[in-house]
Amino acid sequence: MSDNKYASLALLCFGGSLALSGLFYNLYRKKREEVQKLKEIPKVELNEDLINSIESLQPKQINYVAVEGIVLPDGEMLTSHYVPTCYGVIQKSIVQQNKKVFNKITNTWLVVPKMKNLQETIKTVPFSLAANSDYDTRVSVHVESPLTAMGFSLELVHSRLRFKDYFGHLLNMEKPWWLEEKEEMLKVGSTLTGFGELVLDSNRVLRLRPPMDGNKYMLIISDYWSYLKQQESSVMLCKVLTAVFGMTAALSSLCFLIGSAMRPEVTGLIRMA
């Protein structure tokens, strides 16, 4: 390998590793701050003591708390279209189409990278978080505006691919490749952790709603401690990757300097020979 190619490779490795180290360091700092803020959010237990303590406040609310509970419908619940024994309070049905288009340059059919949503429907019913897993609804909190929450994802309960008969579309130089049916739900009985504003209304009903002070309204399908542990693991991963790419950049720089120092000696020996 020539000296120029060696130097270019070393500099490329150094620059790329240094850039990745900086990227993961910024992610590490950001995630560490987010986890620290999560730990500072008070977690409340759904019981009569909580209701009594909020009732003594003016106004009757806590600006930002974490609440964990079991998902239960306030009335009728939704039934899965594909899994008869699956019930939920939020249901999202999606039908996506993936196409192939003919490339005249390469004379081949290429799959379009982005799917097109042919149909998407979302159904919701009012629901609450119950205090414990035996479905005791004496103390619960009603969840408001769940679809506006950040980080809220549903559980996939059904997915199926259907390949299409595309011969009738060849004149348009495109053909449907497959249809994908998906159904996602927030199932009854799931453990959900909510971060938001907790309010006690005039009927002594607890309500979790988007905060008015600008904090993030979040609903996570997980218990509180598992979610916190997951976030701490992501912080540690970013820290490790920062160190790995930082060491790679340092080694690349060291190898480049050693190689630069040795090349004159090697050239002199070759000339003497």
3-state helix, strand, coil in the chain (%, to 5): 40, 35, 25
Residue 24: CB atoms within 10 Å: 20
Residue 42: both structure tokens together = 């008070």
| Cross-strand partners of 91 | 123, 185
User: What is the reported pLDDT for 272?
Assistant: 47
* Alpha-carbon torsion, ordered 236, 239, 243, 248, to 10 deg: 100
Report the phi/psi class of residue 259: left, alpha or beta, with left for phi > 0 and alpha for psi in -120 to 50: alpha
User: Mean pLDDT throughout 183-196?
Assistant: 94
User: What is the reported pLDDT for 164?
Assistant: 60
Q: Using omega within 30 degrees of 0 as the cis cutoff, is the peptide bond preceding 210 cis?
A: no
* Alpha-carbon torsion, ordered 142, 145, 146, 147, to 10 deg: 160
User: What is the reported pLDDT for 21?
Assistant: 85
Give 68-123 as a DSSP string: EEEEEESS--EE-SS-TT-EEEEEEEEEEEEEEEEETTTTEEEE-SS-EEEEEEEE
- The confidence band for 5, taking pLDDT boundaries of 50, 70 and 90, is low
Query: pLDDT by residue (tens digit) across 215-246?
Result: 999 999 999 999 999 999 999 999 999 998 88
Query: pLDDT by residue (tens digit) across 19-49?
Result: 888 899 999 999 999 999 999 999 998 988 8
- Does the reported pTM lie above 0.75? yes
Which helix (H) or strand (E) covers residue 164, if one does? none
Percent of the chain scored above 90 by pLDDT? 49
User: Mean pLDDT throughout 160-173?
Assistant: 58
Q: Are 121 and 127 in contact (CB under 8 A)?
A: no
Q: How far apart are CA 119 and CA 183, in angstroms?
A: 12
- The confidence band for 271, taking pLDDT boundaries of 50, 70 and 90, is very low
Length of the chain: 273
